[in-house]
Structure 1
């Protein structure tokens, strides 16, 4: 591991804004996938942290290049492909306080993870596990461990007022107009 990056500082209120993909080339570059709404906004928030083998690490960006579906980045002091491979699948984490303050009834996707999903007919559908981004709309990935439903995922498009009827931040629930096959 890169001892020069280890830090005793842990980010306050860690917030994931991206993920490092595979190594690219021989000079230590990696692919970067941004989870921010505007992909370029990931570069507005610093410092970047990641966690590897229970150690917090500060990542210092040296170079970036925009690609079609991801960025190519170079982290300072990463000299070769083998060092870059050690960062594969690490999350890019910032302190949540560096994000813009939200208006009333606004939220970050990350805040909705583990919210309960209830259909507008009153059926419990599961909890939000993650989000998928598509060209047309974002998708809620619901993990469902109900007795009669078996272990399965439900994919629900995040289309406000059509599918997403209510987001209740206080009770951590989202009401959806959705009728899965098992319902």
Structure 2
């Protein structure tokens, strides 16, 4: 961590693109190209975390390509292969009422409405359909659709607890 705040992983460098220092990005943002909206990103490679200035970035096919100030050519771009990309939590605008950043929900305790502990949120699955799915790990893995009012009853960010109407045996 740094003194400024919490880092949120937003992607990784997955390849090189062209000969002028551009890299391919596997983006974990929604939409994918939103990762290119940040003027700086944290990069983590073998040497640890460092801030890098983004010169340019854009959607390309099903992915994103990006040019960092430090990568003048293809050889320099190879040096970023596999690097994780992150932002600081406070770089994001506040979420709208009733909306949440997935990063804020990770690690939250999940409990049935009767108080039975089901585990912690360990991830999310974007289905491309009507709703996304929470991955909850406890005594076993549970996949709970993110449907507010039906399965998701209450989100308490301060207490780090999510109450659900989900059969504990399912």
TM-score range, shorter chain: 0.7 to 0.9
- Any idea what the Cα deviations from partners look like across 1:126-177, whole Å, max 9, x if unmatched? 1011222221222212222x3xxxxx43222212112211111122111122
Tell me, in whole angstroms, the C-alpha distance in 1 between the residues paired with 2:27 and 2:162: 25
Tell me, in whole angstroms, the C-alpha distance in 2 between the residues paired with 1:157 and 1:81: 44
Q: How many residues are paired up?
A: 167
Question: 2:17·2:65 contact (CA, 8 Å) conserved in 1?
Answer: no
Q: Which residue of 2 aligns with 1:69?
A: 62
* Structure 1: gaps (5+ residues): 1-8, 147-151
Given the alignment, which residue of 3, 10, 18 partners 1:18?
A: 10
Using a 3 Å threshold, how does the CA distance of structure 1 residues 82 and 154 change in structure 2: closer, same or farther? Answer: farther
Using a 3 Å threshold, how does the CA distance of structure 1 residues 162 and 33 change in structure 2: closer, same or farther? Answer: farther
Using a 3 Å threshold, how does the CA distance of structure 1 residues 85 and 125 change in structure 2: closer, same or farther? Answer: farther
Q: Which residue of 1 aligns with 2:23?
A: 30
- Any idea what the Cα deviations from partners look like across 1:16-63, whole Å, max 9, x if unmatched? 251114214463543323333333332333321122235222222234
Question: 1:29·1:81 contact (CA, 8 Å) conserved in 2?
Answer: no
* Structure 2: gaps (5+ residues): none
Q: CA RMSD in A?
A: 2.8
Q: Which residue of 1 aligns with 2:159?
A: 171
When normalised by structure 2's length, the TM-score is 0.78
Tell me, in whole angstroms, the C-alpha distance in 2 between the residues paired with 1:80 and 1:104: 44
Question: What SS does structure 2 have at the residue aligned with 1:60?
Answer: strand
Question: What SS does structure 1 have at the residue aligned with 2:148?
Answer: coil
Question: 1:23·1:85 contact (CA, 8 Å) conserved in 2?
Answer: no
Q: Which residue of 2 aligns with 1:143?
A: 137
Question: 1:17·1:42 contact (CA, 8 Å) conserved in 2?
Answer: no
